Structures are given as structure tokens and as C-alpha cells.
Amino acid sequence: MTHPVVSPDPEIVHLARLLVRCPDQPGIVATISNFLFNHGANITALDQHSTDPQGGTFFLRLEFQLPHEELPRTVLQRSFQRAVADRYEMQWHLSYAADLHRTAILVSRYDHALMELLWRWSRGELVTEIPMVISNHPDLREAVEAFGIPYHHVPVDPTKKPEAEEAILELLGDDIDTVVLARYMQILSPEFVARFPNRIINIHHSFLPAFVGARPYRQAASRGVKLIGATAHYVTSELDAGPIIEQDVLRVSHRQSIRDLKELGASIERQVLARAVRWHLEDRILVDGNKTVVFA
């Protein structure tokens, strides 16, 4: 299999996305939409959410087509800061779909979550660069390299975890936007996590907050639940407690063994993680404390 050639949507070339968070107050939408209109940009999607119109937090996501005559990005951004953002005390982020996101994937031995991502990526469903896959095991090298992606094996000696993380950080370098843990079975240190705030996505194989920690399918079987689930979330320094991005469940019964639960669960994990990564790549997620606002 050769490196996939994503046939980009022609509209993507001029597509930009704006994420905004600020204290809610009247006039924000009017101000922003005026600003964009006056700069020749055409809004094609708009989602907003307010935690409370009186004194709450306002969240906004905009997609717009940039004007075809070239407007230098720095001009647009400086102008937005001055004319809009300062006035409303906004935190904001503007991205251009044509600038591909750079995503690194960490994995251990289970291949299902990884393969789902690579496979969707090769079909053009996940629009990103994937400059590397890093694993603490050598097992999946051939499968990854078949997609034309470099595979790095960084063994993790339990007594030398900091060294392993150092090696991973060196591989990641300075220009990785997002790290996806596609069933990476090592717990990352708070220092590592702090390097990528709300930029590490993990897939946990249970419906959180039920069954935090190890062996969730075993826990689920032992509790006799009638649904098993999977949860994609941003990683924070507290285990399995970061902002939830997406969850889904599947019906099970007394008939399923733990082995069956793992097999069925793998299918949900794949879908939940793929949705979460896609939303992240399309700048559809805003973090609000320990929760997410997802404009899906």
C-alpha cells in the first residue's frame, strides 16, 4: 500500500475555522460576523453555546471561506485581535484547513484502534499528517509501514520510565499538534501531559466514569452491566478523568464472555476514537473546565 493521496475538497483551500471563548454578553455574534463580512469572508457554518446568557461563558465555532483575493493571515489575525478579541476578552484560535494538522499516534500491542485511524486516514476521512507512530512494542511495525508511516519502537522499562518519555518527546519534536493514544497501555507522567494540554486524546475501554483504571471489561463483566462502552477523552494528569469528548455503548448480556466483551468493545472503541479524532482535527471541540463543548 502506498502513501494515500487525499483528494482535497476544493473548498478546503479557502476554509478557515475560528474558535472563540469569552464572557457572554450581548453583541458578540454581531461584532464577529460584521468583522468577517467586512473582510470579505463568507460564513458557512456557525455554532454557539452559552453556559448562561447572564454572566456565563460564550463558546463559538465559525467556518468561513477566506476571500479569494489574498488577505495576509497576519493582517487578518492582528486586526481581529484589535477590533474584536480585545474588546470581549476573548480566547480564540484561528486555523486554516489547508494547513494540515500533525498527529502522532502512540500504541502498544492491540492494533484495532490504530488500524481504524490509519484506514480512515488512508480513505481521506481524517485530514491530517501522521508523521509517526510510536510504540513500546515492535509488533505493529509492518502494519504501520504499509501505510507509508514511520514506526518507532520505544521500549518502556518500568524502572526507566522518564528515559522512555524523554525518547518519545524527542521523536515528537516541536511541531506535533496532537498525540493520540490508540490503546497505549503506559500511563504518561504529568510533565509529559503538561506539554500537550488538551492535545492528547485517549480511548478508554469503558463508559467513564464507570470502570476507571485497569481491566474495565473484566470490571464490567463482574458488575453484570447490560451495556459496555468506550470513552474518548483528553488526557489530564488524573487517570481517566480528563474532559470527555465522545462515548458510545453496545448492548451485552449474560451470554458474552470477557473475551466476547473485548471483541465487541473493540468495535465501539474504534468508532468512538475515530469520531473524537475527527472532531478534534476539524476544530469542533472546546474545553470548558473538565467538560467539552462539541460542535459536531
For binding to its own copies (CB under 8 A), which residues are involved? 1, 26-27, 29-30, 33-34, 36-37, 40-50, 53, 59, 65, 111-112, 115, 119, 123, 125, 142-143, 146, 207-211, 223-227, 229, 243-249, 253-255, 263, 267, 271, 288, 290-294, 296
For its own copies, which is the closer residue by CB, 42 or 189? 42
Give least dist CB 36 to its own copies, A. 7
For its own copies, which is the closer residue by CB, 171 or 241? 241
Q: Which three cell numbers stand for residue 78?
A: 492582528
Give least dist CB 85 to its own copies, A. 17
Give least dist CB 203 to its own copies, A. 14
Contact indicator for 241, 290 with CB cutoff of 8 Å? yes
Residue-wise burial string across 164-193, b where 16 or more C-beta atoms lie within 10 A, e elsewhere: bbebbeeebeeebbbbbbbbbebebeeebb
Q: Which three cell numbers stand for residue 291?
A: 467538560
Q: Give the separation between CA 41 and CA 258, rounded to whole angstroms.
A: 54
Residue tagged active-site, from 9, 86, 175, 240: 240
For its own copies, which is the closer residue by CB, 165 or 240? 240
Cα of first residue to Cα of last residue in the chain, in angstroms, is: 32
Give least dist CB 75 to its own copies, A. 19
CA-based nearest residue to 106, from 165, 43, 47: 165
For its own copies, which is the closer residue by CB, 111 or 165? 111
Give least dist CB 196 to its own copies, A. 20
Q: Give the separation between CA 50 and CA 73, rounded to whole angstroms.
A: 28
Give least dist CB 256 to its own copies, A. 11
Annotation marks residue 52 as catalytic:
no
For its own copies, which is the closer residue by CB, 111 or 283? 111
Q: How far is CA 100 from CA 39, 45, 230, in A?
A: 24, 20, 28
Contact indicator for 210, 183 with CB cutoff of 8 Å? no
For its own copies, which is the closer residue by CB, 246 or 269? 246
Active site residues per annotation: 240
